[in-house]
Amino acid sequence: MTVSVNVHEAKTHFSKLLTRVQAGEEIIIAKAGRPIAKLIPIQAKSKPRKPGTAKGKLWIAPDFDAPLPEDVLKSFEGE
């Protein structure tokens, strides 16, 4: 549920608003009735990436970087 508060209320009750955001709520801060900011919870970071986890799961052909055949090259050139 999203709640809207004015700037004065946000300044006065900032700690309470942060507690609500921490619980998963979204808070819109408005000035003169117009929304200007949104307080949202920060998403937990995923686990750090570990290099080498795909080792042995991928295969690359020995001729991967060989030149393309002429007919394939021409199809890219639009001829």
* Pair 25, 1: CB distance under 8 Å: yes
Domain that holds residue 32: 2-39
Q: Note the pTM of the prediction, 2 decimals.
A: 0.54
Q: Which residue has the tokens 């801060």?
A: 29
Going by pLDDT thresholds of 50, 70 and 90, the confidence category of residue 78 is low
Residue 79 lies in a domain: no
Read off the CATH number of the domain in which 30 is found: 3.40.1620.10
In a domain, 29, yes or no: yes
pLDDT in tens, 61-77: 999 999 989 998 888 88
CA dist 9 and 67 (Å) reads 66
pLDDT band at 51 (very low <50, low <70, confident <90, very high): very high
CA–CA–CA angle 61, 65, 67 (5° rounding): 120
